[in-house]
């Protein structure tokens, strides 16, 4: 897919999201799950492959219960640098709202190319919150555009029918912040960067 669609959807003079530069990471493949308060809260699930992050938006977020299949809508590939993005996407921009890095780590899969093309990926996650075996399966009968997949926990010692990982571990693994703190801190940082909006001595507002 490349990064053309990623680039087209964004105005990099306005958003602080990373520019679309493909990067190499040696050795292990990274994964990241970002919690994103856009017009609707969702979780963005991203798997590094071939120099980009293959990406799915998961409206309900991942579940540790193997019986709960979670809709995962494939979206455009993102640059690898996006895995570290936490902050605010400006309102009016694509996906405007705050983003935090909800989980990160590495992932393993025996045949990624085949899995992606056949619509059945079986893999292991080595994250701080998500661990063990998982699967992503393209929905049959999704003739519209083939973008609807299902994310499922595979039964193993990390599966749980009762734990709610989203509510028990809601914060960023990078900063320990919640979404409200991310937006509050980023807004005050932005104000500090813009001298026009701060008071100057001797001059009060007009
Ligand atoms: Mn998103």
| DSSP per position, 49-70 | ETTEEEEEEETT---S-TT--E
User: What's the pLDDT at 23?
Assistant: 56
196 Cα to the center of ligand 1, angstroms: 31
SS3 category, 185? helix
Whether 155 has a pLDDT exceeding 50, the answer reads yes
Ligand 1 centroid from CA 43, angstroms: 7
Residue pointed to by tokens 């679309």: 20
Q: What is the spatial distance between Cα 166 and Cα 61, in angstroms, rounded to a whole number?
A: 7
36 Cα–ligand 1 center, Å: 5
pLDDT tier at 199, thresholds 50, 70, 90: very low
In the predicted structure, residue 43 carries a pLDDT above the cut 80: yes
36: number of CA atoms within 13 Å, CB side? 25
Residue 37 C-alpha to ligand 1 middle, in angstroms?
A: 8
* Stretch among 70-79, 169-178, 195-204 having the lowest mean pLDDT: 195-204
| DSSP character string of 89-109 | EPTTSTT-EEEEEEEEEEEE-
Question: Average pLDDT of 150-179?
Answer: 97
Q: What number of H helices and E strands is found in the chain?
A: 4, 9
Q: What is the 3-state secondary structure (H, E, C) of 35-48?
A: EEECCCEEEEEEEE
- For residue 200, the model assigns a pLDDT of 45
pLDDT at residue 25 tops 80: no
What average pLDDT does the segment 155-171 reach? Answer: 97
Interval 99-144: pLDDT, tens:
999 999 999 999 999 999 999 999 999 999 999 999 999 998 766 6
What integer best gives the mean pLDDT of the chain?
A: 89
**Whole-angstrom distance, CA of residue 58 vs CA of residue 45:** 7
Q: Inform me whether the pLDDT recorded for 22 exceeds 90.
A: no
Q: How far is the CA of 38 from the centre of ligand 1 (A)?
A: 7
pLDDT of amino acid 1: 60
Query: What six digits make up the tokens of 160?
Result: 């749980």
Residue range 140-149, pLDDT digits in tens: 876 667 799 9
- Please tell me the distance between residue 177's alpha carbon and the centre of ligand 1 in angstroms: 18
* The predicted structure's pLDDT at residue 198: 47
- Report the percentage of the chain scoring pLDDT > 70: 89
Q: What angle do CA 98, 99, 103 make, to 5 degrees?
A: 155
Contact (Cβ atoms closer than 8 angstroms) between residue 152 and residue 56: no
In angstroms, what is the span from residue 198 Cα to ligand 1's centroid? 32
- For 152, other C-beta atoms within 10 Å of its C-beta total 21
- In angstroms, what is the span from residue 197 Cα to ligand 1's centroid? 30
| Separation of CA 189 and ligand 1 centre (Å) | 22
């Amino acid at each position: 897919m490349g990064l053309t669609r990623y680039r087209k959807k964004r105005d990099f003079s306005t958003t602080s999201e990373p520019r679309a530069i493909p990067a190499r990471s040696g050795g292990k493949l990274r994964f990241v799950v970002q919690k994103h308060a856009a017009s609707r809260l969702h979780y963005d699930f991203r798997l590094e492959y071939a120099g980009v992050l293959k990406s799915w938006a998961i409206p309900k977020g991942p579940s540790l219960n193997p019986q709960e299949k979670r809709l995962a809508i494939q979206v455009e590939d993102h640059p690898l640098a996006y895995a570290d993005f936490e902050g605010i996407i400006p309102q009016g921009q694509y996906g405007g709202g705050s983003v935090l890095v909800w989980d990160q780590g590495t992932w393993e899969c025996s045949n990624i190319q085949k899995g992606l093309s056949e619509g059945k990926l079986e893999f292991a996650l080595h994250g701080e919150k998500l661990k063990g075996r998982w699967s992503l399966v393209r929905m049959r009968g999704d003739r519209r555009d083939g973008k609807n997949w299902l994310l499922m926990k595979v039964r193993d010692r990390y599966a749980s029918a009762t734990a709610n990982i989203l509510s028990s571990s809601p914060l960023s693994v990078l900063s320990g912040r919640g979404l409200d703190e991310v937006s509050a801190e980023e807004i005050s940082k932005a104000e500090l960067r813009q001298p026009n909006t701060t008071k100057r001595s001797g001059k009060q507002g007009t």
